Structure 1
Amino acid sequence: MRTKGLRGALAADTEIGAGNVLARVLAHGADPQGPGLTFDTAVDGHPAGQPLTLGQLDERIAARAAWLHERGVRPRDPVAVWATGAADMVLSFLALARLGAVPALMNGKLRPEIAAEYIRRLRAVGVLADAAHAELLDGHDLGAPLLGRPAEAGGGDPAAAPAHYRHHDDDPVVVTHTSGTTGVPKAVLHSHASLFAATRHLLSMPQAQGTGRILSALPAPHTATVLMVNQALGNRAEMFLLSEQGGERVLDAIQRWRPDGVFGFSVTWAELARFDLSGYDLASVRLWFNTGDCSHEPHVRRLVAVGSRDVMTRAGVTRVRGSVFIDGLGSSEMGHSMFHVTHTTDSDRYGRCVGRPYAFARVAVLDPNGNELPPGQVGWLGIDSPSLFRGYWNDSLTTYRSRLRGWYLTGDLVRADADGRYYHLDRAVDSVDAGDGRWFFTALSEERILASCPDVTDCTVVIVRTGDTVVTDVLLELAAGADPEQNRDPAVRAALGPDLGATLRRVLPVRADDIPVTVTGKVRKVALRERYLSEAPS
């Protein structure tokens, strides 16, 4: 079957969902010798960096399913998976989904006490943990036994695997978690149908350039990785999954593996922007795809200046210098980015524009009572989409508090323009209502500072209101060779604008390591508010 026909057949398949993409791709006649997945660690003796074919991938999943089934794992059993390697995460997800169990994928950077409490709240029936994380859990009450290391499951007998579980649309298929900015992260539940809704839509559309050979720099335990693995399998694309997403690691992988598309979070693009990219061979890259938090203009501009892309001219399709960056706004709960905007070297629409919603999503800007606001007004982002999560696992209180008049509230403040484009201004918890209709936004302020200060590679704005007083601190990460003693206060104050600029207390050069971040790299501004704004002015 031709790939184009296969994509259409998958999009129309009423049985397919996030829990059985591999099986349905094979059932529709995909070549078992075609691309499966490639990992940066060895898999059951298969060398790191060497692709697994589709058939080999299916066999390795069957082996793990048999091993797990022998240890009593059954449909709808939650099983926690705590590891570092992308192979451990992805193969465990696929094997547990094959059994109809509920894999709960955990970021390897969680603190042990947080991880243990998270597992207890899951009420898991068992835990898969690699050697390093099993040691970290030693002595903690998990409420569940350790089943073994994820890699051990590869020793199962593929022939002994039970038949693939037949999923219903509403069956739970995976639990991932939020960044955990204030403690134990929220456990986000997706169903067989919800986590495939966006993929079904994309399979019905023409395949975009830059999606034939994908480097995944996404955190392996994140919802986005599950989504992109299923999209790659459905597109019959090659995919190389990294276990670590640092800038040097990503640049090295691009040069060695030569992908046409790189998928990641904004934190990775910010790291790449610290490098002189002209010194690297990035010619293969046509597409940078961002999900999670939207990206800052200077970071995007550095990336689209390298690589190349195809454009239609009078002479036909022509390859030109400069790649494409697709930005948006997503989260574990959204199940896929809800918006998309395309940037090239010619783009001039920034200012935290996240573009227009995907066709499968319905979005609105809401007031605190859930009423829709007109273009130009700032409000809460509300979403209604078949791709939305089903709720927070074992936490119905938080689930219902996130809903308002049929909308899921993301916690973001946005505005729309008259042309239907949306602009992300800030997380609501990081913004400040200054009264008299004035709002101060940290994320939008960071965008403006970066655009105004070329020797600043990244920055963090922290704003706190105490009574009638608003105080702002700005933390700057400087480019190599930049003078840390230079007075940047006037430039920063001008970028902030007269109202917020009047609240500026200090501008501090910092190192990246000075900024507290979550396990997915998001800045913990709540910690910075406590650290910096509790101090007396210098």
Structure 2
Amino acid sequence: MRYESTVEAWKARVAGNPERVALRYFDGWMTAAQVDRASDALAVALVARGTIRGARVGIYLQNTPHYALALLALWKLGATALLLNPMYKRRELRRLVDDSGAIGVICADTAELETRQTLAGSTVCWLITTSARDFQTRNDPRSCDMTARPAASTDGDVAALIREFDGLRPADIALTRDDVALLTYTSGTTGPPKGAMNTHENVLAVATTFGRFARLAPGDIVMAVAPLFHITGAVINAAISLFTDTTLVFTGRFDPDIVLEAFAEHRVSFTIGSITVFNAILALPHASASHFASVKTLYSGGAPIPPATVERFHKRFGVYIYNAYGLTESTSGVIAVPPCATAPVDASSGTLSIGIPLPHVVARVIDPNGHPVPPGTQGELELSGPQIIPGYWNNPDATAHAMPEGRFRTGDVAIIDTQGWIYLVDRLKDQINVSGYKVWPREVEDTLYEHPAVHEAAVIGQSDEYRGETVVAFVSLKSGVLVTPAELIAFTKERLAAYKYPRIVHIVDDLPKTQTGKIRRQELRDENTAAQGVLHPKEKL
């Protein structure tokens, strides 16, 4: 059925099975009917604070039930949910609030004081708080701050407001598919963050197509692993569950032990998370196949998956990690590996396929002039379809540059083979030029992941008088395993062309990442002398 808005899709779900448990949070739970009633009450409370159709309201939270309730409440008012990373501080947070013109923010009670100070003098008129102790009684100290509970905001507290306005419901709004459901800011890796306007049509297009593609069925249990402040978590974890007869499980901020326990306790059948999530679980010595006994499908998106990691996870737990690809501008996943299929590896680059386009997605690879290239040829990945945003918030120039005629140019280098499988080679801006030869960091990283001691790897280019650029690798190791930079260099030298293998290897404790698991290569470039390495500057190619 074609729905005109997220609210219509939600109401159809509630009507279909109101007593299905819709949300779980440790030992707490809420049925679809209870979630509907609670989000109605919260919506009325937000109206009392000046929230109208088109208003932007920030959600500045970790993965707790408040997030789903706030999304539904805002959508019922025709308002836009501004997704805010709770790790952002001061200037990072203020910049997004100022750009969006948000009128209010929903934040954790532990963050209220600093948030209020940061947003003083901004467009924000109120702060509503939440507590990690709401909607459950277990109060796991790994997830909940066990010090004295902060006082609720004088502007209101979500749980208290739901009780205060219980039984009331907002006026119906005639939403359209063009109304903006989410305002999601890009990570700003190529400039200042831009606000992607994810419409109701965009959200519905991804949630419905990905749900069918991944074969979600009534009664499935969806784990909110990816952070909901990121487009993947908001759509492929939250929206996909809210619009289907399934249960959405929350565990707060990601903790590998808590997530592992939740897989078994709640009998999770589906989730999507970054590869760092699955690496963290692999690092747990007590993790076993029994924790994943109920899993039907695991997807990973947000960062490339090394083939070696997929193999190790499958061998240890009996579960295959399916690749998925999407961006903020595509409202999350639009390319994925079909369930029960095994992603092929491109022979020329050694890259694991990210899958095939989802229904209604048009993907093509183009040359610098915007012309399609033949199958098997590298070029820039371009996407179009109902999942692609109409543009960036108050930024027509950026919109025109990135989306000529509505087709989004991703900035990712890809290959499409004759069977339609898509392989992501790397980012255009991350290409390394060694003595006139092109080196894609992804290929070198995948080779490093084949070494049994390597936990995570990132590769960058460093200016070099002899070669133009030198390939440099940063590597973190698995617990209790030792290997030298020279050994890793020798390992890659045996497996890669002479111009590709790294001449410098830094072994570090951890790699810098975004909150969604993407490794910050730029930060490594800025700090590429921070660790000891091995260098052979005059070695011939």
TM-score, with structure 2 as normaliser: 0.84
Q: Please, which of 490, 509, 524 is the counterpart of residue 511 of structure 1?
A: 509
The reply on whether 1:137 has 2:115 as its aligned counterpart is: yes
The reply on whether 1:170 has 2:191 as its aligned counterpart is: no
State whether residues 325 and 344 of structure 1, in contact with CA within 8 Å, keep that contact through their aligned partners in structure 2. no
Q: CA RMSD in A?
A: 2.7
State whether residues 213 and 261 of structure 1, in contact with CA within 8 Å, keep that contact through their aligned partners in structure 2. yes
Residues 74-102 of structure 1, C-alpha deviations (whole Å, 9 max, x = no match): 11011122123432322211111111111
State the one-letter code of the partner of 2:498: P
Residues 163-187 of structure 1, C-alpha deviations (whole Å, 9 max, x = no match): 2322111111111222344675332
1:25/1:285 CA distance change after superposition, 3 Å? closer
The reply on whether 1:498 has 2:498 as its aligned counterpart is: yes
User: Where do residues 362-381 of structure 1 align in structure 2 (5 Å cutoff)?
Assistant: 362-381=362-381
The reply on whether 1:522 has 2:527 as its aligned counterpart is: no
SS class of match (1:52): strand
1:533/1:371 CA distance change after superposition, 3 Å? farther
Partner of 1:312: none
Distance 2:246 2:531 in 1: 52
Residues 224-249 of structure 1, C-alpha deviations (whole Å, 9 max, x = no match): 23323232233301220232223223
The reply on whether 1:94 has 2:72 as its aligned counterpart is: yes
1:342/1:206 CA distance change after superposition, 3 Å? closer
1:25/1:257 CA distance change after superposition, 3 Å? closer
The reply on whether 1:147 has 2:127 as its aligned counterpart is: yes
Partner of 1:239: 248
The reply on whether 1:64 has 2:42 as its aligned counterpart is: yes
Residues 182-236 of structure 1, C-alpha deviations (whole Å, 9 max, x = no match): 6753322111111111333356679347981121201021222332323223330
Q: Which range moves more in the overlay, 50-59 or 210-219? A: 210-219
Tell me by how many angstroms 1:64 deviates: 0.5
1:460/1:344 CA distance change after superposition, 3 Å? farther
The reply on whether 1:385 has 2:371 as its aligned counterpart is: no
Partner of 1:5: none
Partner of 2:298: 288
State the one-letter code of the partner of 1:507: V
Distance 1:346 1:148 in 2: 46
Partner of 1:44: none
State the one-letter code of the partner of 1:25: R
Tell me by how many angstroms 1:399 deviates: 1.8
Count of equivalent residues: 496
Residues 58-80 of structure 1, C-alpha deviations (whole Å, 9 max, x = no match): 01101100110111111101112
State the one-letter code of the partner of 2:177: D
Distance 1:265 1:536 in 2: 29
Partner of 1:32: 18
Partner of 1:461: 459
Q: Please, which of 52, 55, 76 is the counterpart of residue 54 of structure 2?
A: 76
State whether residues 210 and 333 of structure 2, in contact with CA within 8 Å, keep that contact through their aligned partners in structure 1. no
Distance 1:198 1:99 in 2: 22
Tell me by how many angstroms 1:288 deviates: 0.8
User: Where do residues 202-351 of structure 1 align in structure 2 (5 Å cutoff)?
Assistant: 202=210, 207-208=215-216, 212-227=220-235, 228-276=237-285, 277-278=287-288, 281-305=291-315, 322-342=318-338, 349=345, 351=351
Distance 1:33 1:344 in 2: 31
State whether residues 22 and 30 of structure 2, in contact with CA within 8 Å, keep that contact through their aligned partners in structure 1. yes
Structure 1, unaligned runs of 5 or more = 1-11, 40-47, 308-321
Q: Please, which of 107, 112, 124 is the counterpart of residue 102 of structure 2?
A: 124
SS class of match (1:239): strand
1:233/1:92 CA distance change after superposition, 3 Å? closer
State whether residues 112 and 127 of structure 2, in contact with CA within 8 Å, keep that contact through their aligned partners in structure 1. no
State whether residues 116 and 137 of structure 1, in contact with CA within 8 Å, keep that contact through their aligned partners in structure 2. no
State the one-letter code of the partner of 1:303: F
State whether residues 210 and 287 of structure 1, in contact with CA within 8 Å, keep that contact through their aligned partners in structure 2. no
1:86/1:411 CA distance change after superposition, 3 Å? farther
State whether residues 273 and 299 of structure 2, in contact with CA within 8 Å, keep that contact through their aligned partners in structure 1. yes
State whether residues 58 and 105 of structure 2, in contact with CA within 8 Å, keep that contact through their aligned partners in structure 1. yes
State whether residues 455 and 482 of structure 1, in contact with CA within 8 Å, keep that contact through their aligned partners in structure 2. yes
Partner of 1:110: 88
Structure 2, unaligned runs of 5 or more = 131-156, 535-541
Distance 1:399 1:298 in 2: 37
SS class of match (1:294): coil
State the one-letter code of the partner of 1:304: H
State whether residues 217 and 262 of structure 1, in contact with CA within 8 Å, keep that contact through their aligned partners in structure 2. yes
Q: Which range moves more in the overlay, 137-146 or 274-283? A: 274-283
Distance 1:534 1:480 in 2: 21
Residues 445-479 of structure 1, C-alpha deviations (whole Å, 9 max, x = no match): 2112212x122121111123567611121112212
Distance 1:193 1:405 in 2: 18
SS class of match (1:259): coil
State whether residues 58 and 83 of structure 2, in contact with CA within 8 Å, keep that contact through their aligned partners in structure 1. yes
Distance 1:306 1:343 in 2: 19
State the one-letter code of the partner of 2:2: D
Q: Which range moves more in the overlay, 61-70 or 143-152? A: 143-152
State whether residues 117 and 184 of structure 1, in contact with CA within 8 Å, keep that contact through their aligned partners in structure 2. no
State whether residues 445 and 495 of structure 1, in contact with CA within 8 Å, keep that contact through their aligned partners in structure 2. no
State the one-letter code of the partner of 2:181: V
TM-score, with structure 1 as normaliser: 0.85
State whether residues 445 and 461 of structure 1, in contact with CA within 8 Å, keep that contact through their aligned partners in structure 2. yes
Distance 2:259 2:397 in 1: 40
State whether residues 78 and 123 of structure 1, in contact with CA within 8 Å, keep that contact through their aligned partners in structure 2. yes
Q: Please, which of 6, 14, 22 is the counterpart of residue 10 of structure 2?
A: 22
1:180/1:199 CA distance change after superposition, 3 Å? same
1:243/1:178 CA distance change after superposition, 3 Å? farther
Q: Which range moves more in the overlay, 223-232 or 212-221? A: 223-232
SS class of match (1:25): helix
Tell me by how many angstroms 1:20 deviates: 3.8
Tell me by how many angstroms 1:406 deviates: 4.3
Distance 1:205 1:484 in 2: 42
Tell me by how many angstroms 1:13 deviates: 3.3
Partner of 1:359: 359
